[in-house]
Amino acid sequence: MHQPFNKQSTEQAQKIDARRRLYILRFVSYITTAVMFIYGVKNLSAEQILLPTILFTTGSLFLLNIIVFNITRNLDRACVIETLLVASFVLSLVYQGGFNNTALFWVFPFPAILFGLLGVRNALISNAVLLIILSIMLFIPDLISANYKEAEASRFIASLLIVIIVCWINDHYRERSHEAMDKLQQIKDQQANTDQLTNLANRRFIDACLVPSFEKQPDLFFPVSLIMCDIDYFKRLNDNFGHDVGDNVLKSVAYMFKQNIRQQDFACRIGGEEFLLILPRTSVQDALNIADKIRKQFHQQQLVPSAPQYKVTASFGVALCNKSEEFSESIKLADMMLYKAKNNGRDQTRG
């Protein structure tokens, strides 16, 4: 249950990457298509009809792909189709030769486009396959209708290989940089949302992470049982034994909570000696049983090793929350139950 909060920054990065791929898809579909149509019109009077046919056909298919994407919103499929169209265009253009045998000059932008559409790994594989096919076409002249000089072909392949390697290095380390920044942000978020003494979640975590998740995914959480816990006579403990002993007691209590709740539950320190346990999809009766189980463990633990006879106890208040809009009121109700337990003699559970 803690996993959705750890995934938030990753999901945000994925959204940004999807937006980047979408912009590249639109650029190729609209801008590149416009260029193709312009050159297609300019070459209508050429002797060879194959070049304008390649330009008009590829441009039309680019437009068709973006239209289908606008209807289905399937970005992955649109990028794969766009990649196939780009590869087909490059191979067809090199096969035909382009205007005045300038086809090879138009190939260089497309490796970067493939990295933008497919991501590092898939783009590297696609570019490698394309490079191999182009090498075969250029070094076996009988396979194509264009006539390239051998030196021209070898220099083109070497230059294209360099472009692909540079694109790979750029995208590879861009991804590594984003991952490092994402991990750093997660560490910062975790530190901001964690109580430094007990390593439990703090009040900021509740407000900034938990409550928004209640609103987005209510079925995962509700009904939520809340257990408010307050260590009895904690000030007296600090006065008698010192704050270092008090801090160790808080750490031991935090560990006790972790040992008695499920993975999907949340233990939070919300005040000096006050804690809040948040138990998703848990009834009040089950929460009362858990609270009383923990309360009894206080009696079994020697929380002040220097004074084994000194017994630390705690009081508990339990309340149920059925929807996110009631969360604040349910916390107040759990707090009321806690004070009822304290006013009635402490070391007890009320709900």
d(CA 64, CA 68): 6
SS3 224: strand
SS3 225: strand
Selected residue with higher pLDDT from 43 and 228: 228
Burial of 266 (0-12, 13-18, 19+ CB in 10 A): buried
| Strand boundaries in the chain, DSSP class E | 224-231, 266-269, 274-280, 314-321, 349-350
pTM for the structure as a whole: 0.56
Contact between 120 and 172 under an 8 Å Cβ cutoff? The reply is: yes
Q: Residues 209-255: pLDDT tens digits?
A: 888 888 888 888 899 999 999 999 999 999 999 999 999 999 999 99
Position 42 pLDDT exceeds 90: no
Assigned architecture for domain 203-350: 2-Layer Sandwich (3.30)
Contact between 215 and 324 under an 8 Å Cβ cutoff? The reply is: yes
Of the candidates 63, 65, 60, the residue with the CA atom closest to the CA atom of residue 40: 60
Position 48 pLDDT exceeds 80: no
Cis link prior to 111 (omega < 30° from 0)? no
* Average pLDDT estimate for 302-314: 91
What local confidence, expressed as pLDDT, does residue 5 receive? 47
Q: What angle do CA 2, 5, 9 make, to 5 degrees?
A: 145
Q: Indicate the pLDDT class of residue 193, thresholds 50, 70 and 90.
A: confident
Q: What is the mean pLDDT of the chain?
A: 88
Minimum mean pLDDT range among 72-76, 176-180, 202-206: 176-180
* Average pLDDT estimate for 182-209: 74
* Average pLDDT estimate for 78-92: 93
Contact between 235 and 197 under an 8 Å Cβ cutoff? The reply is: no
Contact between 330 and 250 under an 8 Å Cβ cutoff? The reply is: no
Position 145 pLDDT exceeds 60: yes
d(CA 82, CA 9): 29
d(CA 93, CA 96): 5
Q: Residues 323-338: pLDDT tens digits?
A: 989 999 999 999 999 9
Which residues on neighbouring strands pair with residue 316, listed in sequence order?
229, 349
* Average pLDDT estimate for 343-350: 93
pLDDT > 90 in the chain, percent: 57
Minimum mean pLDDT range among 45-54, 66-75, 173-182: 173-182
Q: Indicate the pLDDT class of residue 1, thresholds 50, 70 and 90.
A: very low
Selected residue with higher pLDDT from 185 and 150: 150
What local confidence, expressed as pLDDT, does residue 91 receive? 93
Q: Indicate the pLDDT class of residue 10, thresholds 50, 70 and 90.
A: low
What local confidence, expressed as pLDDT, does residue 30 receive? 93
* Average pLDDT estimate for 164-172: 89
Position 294 pLDDT exceeds 90: yes
Q: Indicate the pLDDT class of residue 59, thresholds 50, 70 and 90.
A: very high
What does the domain layout of the chain look like in residue ranges? 3-186, 203-350
d(CA 20, CA 142): 40
- Mention every residue, 6+ apart, whose C-beta is less than 8 A from residue 112: 163, 167
CA distances from 195 to 175, 190, 303 (A): 32, 9, 20
Buried b (16+ CB within 10 A) or exposed e, 226-257: bbbbbbbebeebbeebeeebbebbbebbbebb
What local confidence, expressed as pLDDT, does residue 321 receive? 94
Which residues on neighbouring strands pair with residue 224, listed in sequence order?
280, 321
Position 347 pLDDT exceeds 80: yes
